[in-house]
Amino acid sequence: MKKLSLAFLMLAFLCFALAQPINSFAQSDKELKKEIKQKATKEARKEAKKLSKEGYKVNPGSLPLEKQMERAWMKQYEEDDEGYPKYFISDGQAVGETQTAAKLQAIEMAKLNLAGQIETRVAALIEGSVGNKQLNNEEAASVTQVVAASKSFIAQEIGRVLTLVEIYRPVKKNVEIWVKIGYNTEMAVESAKKTIRQQLEEQTKLAHDKIDSLMDF
């Protein structure tokens, strides 16, 4: 009976010990989200106040400006399991005769800015891959050239983005639109890899197995 009681106590202690890191992690994760929320709210209030003073307004039925900004900052602070930003965030401004026309231009500008961020990220990954795949100087140069010219192609392939903020203000007889958009980092990198792979196949003499190896990241 004593041996049984001792075994039971040891089992209970083991279960308690194993539970501690999980509970601690859950608690720290909760605290982290709370901290992010506080930072996002603080930044959102400051930015919303500034934009309101500049004459920007939200469309009827849309979230208040402060809430839109808070959502954008929350996305900006989100990270994946490896600690990298979970979303690419970009903004764009445009002036047009109508709100619809200005919005389309603003989003296209934001997408182009977004493509620049994506190209920079993928270029860094490819650069590391080039060094490990033993390409000769000519091959490495052609890869670098294709990647450097890929921004416009990446912009064309950007899929559905999250419109986090959309505000407007009158500018004489026209209207100015300011948007902030977000795009999932993982989706963005995969889309860029496909685009660059196609450009490498069309514009270089690299063998398919070398391209496959190069884009394996």
Q: What is the pLDDT along the chain (217 residues), one digit of tens a residue?
A: 544 454 444 545 445 444 455 444 444 667 767 777 788 888 889 999 999 999 999 999 999 999 999 999 999 988 888 888 899 999 999 999 999 999 999 999 999 999 999 999 998 888 877 766 667 888 888 888 999 899 989 999 898 899 999 999 999 999 999 999 999 999 999 999 999 999 999 998 888 888 888 888 7
Write down the pLDDT at residue 28. 63
DSSP reduced 3-state for 167? strand
Instruction: Give the domain extent around 188.
Output: 2-214
Exposed, middle or buried by CB within 10 Å (0-12, 13-18, 19+), for 52?
Answer: middle
Residue identified by tokens 């900004």 is 69
Total count of domains within the chain: 1
pLDDT computed for residue 29 by the predictor: 66
DSSP label at residue 55: T
- Whole-number pLDDT of residue 161: 92
Looking at residue 197, its pLDDT comes to 92
pTM (two decimals) = 0.78
What is the C-alpha separation between 165 and 146, in angstroms, rounded?
Answer: 33
Strands 162-171 and 87-96: unpaired
Say if CB 118 and CB 88 are below 8 A apart.
yes
pLDDT for 189 equals 92
Q: Say which residue the tokens 């050239």 belong to.
A: 145
Residue 35: its pLDDT value, please? 75
The pLDDT of residue 206 is 84
